[in-house]
């Protein structure tokens, strides 16, 4: 009975305000459910006929409750098409939920969505109330999920007590048949549907592996539905194709472009393979981002920087690349390393940490500096547009929240190695302009404790919070889990450590 209301509140049909969408999505939902469930039933009947999982249970037919059996016998006669259609219509609204009839609940959902669409803005409050009610049902399912193993163990104990240990073998056969049928349905039927809409069912199964384990442990998909719905919402999937928006939807589109040489054989086929590979990597990246957002929502993290590697062949001299980079994108830290078998070329705008000796009235002081750089906008084509973009950057709540977090992280890092009371923010949220972009930048300084070396400074500040997240250790653990390849030099440190005790190292970004 719990699943009925959950389906009602999570279908999203109730949240639509476009009558065309209500009819279209509702019709698709009914048609899809009927077709796919019919296919699932046929597969189940076929495999049950082949494997006969109920055989050898050694149950005395005479001992069965005849009244209970008769209920199923009376329900068995085939209904005509007209009777089937009429059965979709519930006697009352509450009758649909009490019976748990999914088709009737879907019909009520469509009618409810149509009613809301006629209310316009007045229906927004109702949608918000329904959304809050869904949270209550989700908690109910969580409670039932925790108690489900007790019920399963109790049923097993009853079966063994009544029919003996020998009944376990046919029971195992029954469960094996069930799971084999489910796997066959997922791979063949749902996999075929997913392939038709250009969706990889196996990648999705990896994404919902926790929910699959819940289903495996409880033998019920209802127990995993709330968690799955929440995970999909965190990934960016809305409950409907068009909910009442809280803010304007984004209009940005991502285009994948592959360059090919028509003179080469199989150029078009090679380009298609490359596009498919890029699309697959994008799907993996979005799944990693979804997992990161889930960790943030659960309170494990405040922010995390999930990256992906971009590879492109380069056949010219590496030094030529460095010279071009220095000309096109001059940056505070330019570097070219030749290690024989490979070379490193980069133009980094951001320091990891700097340690320098400054003269003062009280004598020389060793000052440690971190300058978090986060928040980006392109340069404007005119001075006026450039200033407008800078103002927009400083007024962006997301950019400001991220930058404030990184300032706090820098203060914590410097505070580990600085004298008490010396950690200060000497520059806060200034705009720093480069050839192609402009950033928000701040500066955090502190006086180094006595008897600490540059290696101690590196240990306290590496890696940079702008490339990991906060808290830094948990962010690094998550990055190690979700990023498919090791970062290598990316996010590392490049610079110098001098014999006089000073150091200046940059973060290895914008590097090849």
pLDDT digits (tens, 9 = 90+) for 183-235: 898 888 988 888 887 667 887 787 787 778 777 766 666 667 667 766 665 55
Cα gap 129→126, rounded to integer Å: 5
pLDDT above 70 as % of the chain: 75
Average pLDDT rounded to a whole number, residues 501-511: 89
Average pLDDT rounded to a whole number, residues 428-432: 91
Which pLDDT belongs to residue 168? 74
Does the pLDDT value for residue 126 go beyond 50?
Answer: yes
Buried b (16+ CB within 10 A) or exposed e, 464-475: bbbbbbbbbebb
Does the pLDDT value for residue 16 go beyond 60?
Answer: no
Average pLDDT rounded to a whole number, residues 91-104: 72
Q: How confident is the model at residue 140 (pLDDT cuts 50, 70, 90)?
A: confident
Does the pLDDT value for residue 79 go beyond 80?
Answer: no
Average pLDDT rounded to a whole number, residues 86-102: 73
Higher pLDDT among residues 132 and 296, named by residue: 296
Which pTM value belongs to this model? 0.49
Would the CA dihedral through 187, 211, 218, 213 be positive or negative?
A: positive
Average pLDDT rounded to a whole number, residues 261-268: 83
**Cβ 14 vs Cβ 130: under 8 Å:** yes
Which pLDDT belongs to residue 431? 92
Number of Cβ within 10 Å of residue 364's Cβ equals: 9
Least confident of 289-293, 357-361, 426-430, 477-481: 357-361
Does the pLDDT value for residue 391 go beyond 70?
Answer: yes
Radius of gyration of the chain (CA): 31
Average pLDDT rounded to a whole number, residues 234-255: 49
Higher pLDDT among residues 407 and 255, named by residue: 407
Which pLDDT belongs to residue 353? 92
Does the pLDDT value for residue 12 go beyond 90?
Answer: no
CA-CA distances (angstroms) from residue 271 to 265, 291, 432? 11, 30, 39
Does the pLDDT value for residue 63 go beyond 90?
Answer: no
Distance of CA 470 to the CA centre of its chain: 18
The overall average pLDDT reported for the chain is 78
Closest to 3 measured CA to CA, from 328, 306, 259, 225: 225
Which pLDDT belongs to residue 244? 34
pLDDT above 90 as % of the chain: 9
Cα gap 349→256, rounded to integer Å: 27
**Torsion-angle region of residue 511: left (phi > 0), alpha (psi -120 to 50) or beta?**
beta
Average pLDDT rounded to a whole number, residues 254-278: 81
Which pLDDT belongs to residue 354? 92
Cα gap 476→470, rounded to integer Å: 9
Q: How confident is the model at residue 504 (pLDDT cuts 50, 70, 90)?
A: very high
Higher pLDDT among residues 361 and 369, named by residue: 369
Which pLDDT belongs to residue 249? 45
Number of Cβ within 10 Å of residue 448's Cβ equals: 23
Number of Cβ within 10 Å of residue 395's Cβ equals: 9
Would the CA dihedral through 367, 394, 306, 234 be positive or negative?
A: positive
Give long-range contacts, CB 8 A cutoff, 24+ apart: 222-228.
222/2, 222/3, 222/6, 222/141, 222/144, 223/141, 223/144, 223/145, 223/148, 225/3, 225/6, 225/10, 225/141, 226/6, 226/137, 226/138, 226/141, 226/142
Does the pLDDT value for residue 164 go beyond 60?
Answer: yes
Which pLDDT belongs to residue 245? 37
Does the pLDDT value for residue 6 go beyond 70?
Answer: no
Cα gap 309→487, rounded to integer Å: 8
**Cβ 173 vs Cβ 60: under 8 Å:** no
What are the backbone angles phi and psi of residue 488, rounded to the nearest 5°?
65, -130
Higher pLDDT among residues 179 and 103, named by residue: 179
Q: How confident is the model at residue 499 (pLDDT cuts 50, 70, 90)?
A: confident
Closest to 152 measured CA to CA, from 96, 223, 255: 223
Least confident of 212-216, 268-272, 309-313: 212-216
């Amino acid at each position: 009975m719990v699943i009925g209301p959950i389906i009602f509140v999570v279908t999203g049909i109730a949240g639509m305000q476009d009558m065309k969408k209500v009819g279209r999505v509702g019709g698709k939902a009914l048609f899809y459910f009927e077709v796919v469930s019919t296919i699932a039933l046929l597969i189940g009947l076929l495999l049950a006929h082949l494997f006969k999982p109920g055989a050898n249970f050694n149950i005395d037919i005479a001992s069965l409750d005849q009244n209970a059996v008769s209920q199923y016998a009376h329900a068995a006669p085939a209904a005509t098409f007209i009777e089937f259609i009429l059965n979709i219509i519930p006697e009352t609204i509450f009758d649909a939920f009490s019976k748990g009839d999914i088709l009737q609940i879907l019909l009520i959902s469509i009618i409810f969505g149509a009613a809301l669409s006629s209310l316009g803005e007045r229906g927004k409050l109702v949608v918000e109330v329904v959304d809050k009610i869904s949270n209550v049902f989700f908690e109910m399912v969580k409670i039932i999920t925790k108690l489900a193993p007790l019920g399963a163990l109790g049923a097993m104990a009853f079966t063994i007590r009544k029919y003996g240990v020998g009944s376990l073998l046919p029971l195992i056969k029954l469960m094996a048949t069930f799971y084999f049928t489910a796997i066959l349905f997922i791979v063949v039927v749902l996999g075929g549907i997913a392939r038709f809409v250009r969706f990889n069912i196996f990648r999705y199964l990896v994404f919902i592996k926790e929910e699959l384990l819940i289903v495996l442990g409880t033998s019920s998909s209802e127990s995993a539905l709330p968690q799955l719905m929440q995970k999909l919402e965190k990934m960016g999937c809305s409950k409907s194709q068009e909910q009442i928006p809280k803010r304007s939807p984004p209009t940005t589109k991502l285009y994948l472009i592959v360059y090919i040489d028509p003179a080469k054989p199989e150029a078009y086929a090679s380009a298609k393979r490359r596009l498919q590979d890029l699309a697959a990597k994008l799907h993996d990246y979005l799944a990693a981002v979804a997992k990161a957002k889930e960790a943030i929502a659960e309170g494990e993290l405040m922010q995390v920087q999930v990256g992906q590697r971009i590879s492109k062949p380069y056949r010219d001299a590496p030094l030529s690349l460095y010279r071009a980079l220095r000309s096109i994108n001059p940056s505070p830290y330019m570097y070219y390393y030749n290690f024989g078998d490979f070379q490193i070329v980069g133009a980094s705008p951001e320091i990891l940490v700097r340690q320098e000796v400054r003269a003062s009235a009280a004598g020389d002081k060793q000052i440690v500096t971190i300058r978090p750089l986060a928040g980006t906008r392109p340069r404007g084509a005119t001075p006026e547009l450039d200033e407008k973009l800078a103002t927009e950057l400083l007024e962006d709540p997301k950019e400001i929240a991220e930058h404030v977090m990184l300032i706090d992280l820098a203060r914590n890092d410097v505070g580990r190695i600085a004298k008490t009371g010396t950690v200060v923010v000497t520059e806060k949220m200034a705009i720093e302009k480069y050839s192609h972009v402009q950033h928000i930048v701040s500066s955090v300084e502190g006086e180094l404790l006595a008897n600490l070396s540059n290696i101690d400074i590196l240990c306290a500040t590496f890696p940079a919070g702008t490339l990991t997240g906060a808290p830094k250790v948990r962010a690094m653990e998550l990055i190690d889990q979700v990023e498919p390849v090791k970062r290598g030099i990316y996010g590392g440190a490049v610079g110098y450590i001098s014999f006089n005790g000073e150091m200046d190292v940059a973060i290895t970004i914008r590097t090849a």
